[in-house]
Amino acid sequence: MRSCDLQLRVLRNDFARYNIIDEEGDEIDQDEYGWKIIHTDVFRFPPCQNLLCAILGVGSQFLVLAFGIIIMAMLGLFNVHRHHAMNSAAILLYALTACVAGYVAGSFYKKLGGTSWTWNIILTASLFAVPFFLVWSTVNTVAWVNQSTQALPFTTIVLIIIIWLIVGFPLTVLGGILGKNMAGNFDAPCRTKNIAREIPPVSWHQSTVVHMIVGGFLPFSAISVELYYIFATVWGREAYTLYGILLLVFVILISVTACISIALTYHQLSSEDYRWWWKSISSSGSIGLFVFAYSLFYYYKRSHMYGLLQTVEYFGYTILSCYIFFLMMATISFFASLKFVKYIYRNIKMD
């Protein structure tokens, strides 16, 4: 939180400096520098708008899903010794919250002036469902080949597909329609010029890789301790009951991600680089890579798993979990950066 206070002080100094220059009527171009000089480009819409909106939609859905699962667990709706009950609830809630993904993706796509609505809905509906089906089918096939009891029967597979087809996908379409019809304008504080401004050379500490390391490691450090207990519960078959602590850690994770994203976006704009849209996605979304790195450590140093079936199951579902972390934290990072960018450009005087 100290970094947020420092960021506020820096912003107040920037507001005072830029607004004093305008009040004095100084028209010398060299007095405009930093993030103010790119005000005609900072709201230039990014490429791959369909994919961006789909990520935001599915990320919002999983944020709602995560809060729902944790609150239900806090209310004692799950048996701590039966992991399958929570898995079944997660599948059902995923289908029911599909409308959130459709609404967020559709509304933001409308604000960006998108026109490929069919592709937007299909991409939003399949962004997680397709990777999940590929990983799950691989794990289930290996379980079938090894004649394991963990392999789901054919009737359960058909039931899951039916739930997605008659509940999940239609709700995504409905959410997309509502988002399209209810969305307002993008409401950018500054006009965007037709010709893009040339971006100065980017120093090494402003590179995407450095942003991903900083933006991913700091939020990961906030959950690293709790992550051990989660892995031990899921893969070590231990009972987990501290759901109140888990909710607190999840809120801290969201807060740290938002603060780090704002700080990284500010430094990027200060270097006169206005390509913050996708960078805010990748910076904090990289927490998924750190979670996967921890999963490697846990598998080789903490677990006692071996064999093809256990390895495929562990890494298959872990990769999906890391993907979910990416979607959720990328969504938090983007909306925090968007709110911040709109705020700072509303609070300075433009020519």
Given a contact cutoff of 8 angstroms between Cβ atoms, the answer to whether 168 and 91 are in contact is no
Contacts of 178 (CB under 8 A, 6+ apart): 99, 102, 103, 106
Among 21-25, 34-38, 216-220, 298-302, the range scoring the smallest mean pLDDT is 21-25
pLDDT of res. 76: 81
pLDDT of res. 30: 45
pLDDT of res. 28: 44
pLDDT of res. 131: 94
Rounded Cα distance between 187 and 181, Å, is 16
> Within 10 A of 345 (CB to CB), how many other CB atoms are there?
19
Compute CA 231 distance to the chain's CA centroid, rounded to the nearest angstrom: 21
Among 28-32, 43-47, 68-72, 100-104, the range scoring the smallest mean pLDDT is 28-32
Comparing CA positions, the residue from 213, 223, 208, 181 lying closest to residue 277 is 208
pLDDT of res. 61: 97
Q: In the predicted model, what is the mean pLDDT of the chain?
A: 86
pLDDT of res. 318: 94
Average pLDDT over every residue of 240-255:
89
Average pLDDT over every residue of 82-91:
76
Helix (H, G, I), strand (E, B) or coil at 339: helix
Q: What is 73-118 written as a DSSP string?
A: HHTT-S-TT-HHHHHHHHHHHHHHTHHHHHHHHHHHHHHTT---HH
Output the six-digit token pair for 53: 């909106």
pLDDT band at 347 (very low <50, low <70, confident <90, very high): confident
Give pLDDT tens digits for 130-188.
Answer: 999 999 889 988 988 888 877 777 788 888 889 899 999 999 999 999 999 998 888 88
More confident residue, 23 or 251: 251
Given a contact cutoff of 8 angstroms between Cβ atoms, the answer to whether 2 and 9 are in contact is no
Name the one residue in this structure whose structure tokens are 């790195």: 293
CA distances from 139 to 26, 142, 258, 269, 313 (A): 66, 5, 35, 44, 6
Q: What is the largest CA-CA distance in the chain?
A: 80
Name the one residue in this structure whose structure tokens are 């590179």: 207
